[in-house]
Amino acid sequence: MARRARPSRMWYLLLVPPTVAPLLTPLYNRLEPRLWGLPFFYWWQLMCAVLSMALLTVVHLATRERRPAWK
């Protein structure tokens, strides 16, 4: 039985920014600058959520195990 190559653990470092960024509240607890009328606090949170989804998808696709298709 052939051994499968394990994905690099470096991919998991991409999960650090979306985990840490929302925890740094003093850095983004302000109203200005506004984007489309939204205070900075709100669009920062929205941006963090979208970025987190994108990075989680990248890490998942890069580290998932490939399984052979059913025959």
32 has a pLDDT exceeding 70: yes
Residue matched to tokens 């998991």 = 12
**Which pLDDT score is estimated for 7?**
64
pTM assigned to the model: 0.70
Residue 14 · residue 55 · CB < 8 Å: yes
| Cis amide linkage into residue 33, ω under 30° from 0 | yes
Judge residue 44's burial from the number of C-beta atoms within 10 Å of its C-beta, 0-12 exposed, 13-18 middle, 19 or more buried: buried
Cα separation, 40 vs 16, in Å, equals 22
Contact 59, 10 (CB under 8 A): no
Q: Is the pLDDT of residue 46 over 80?
A: yes
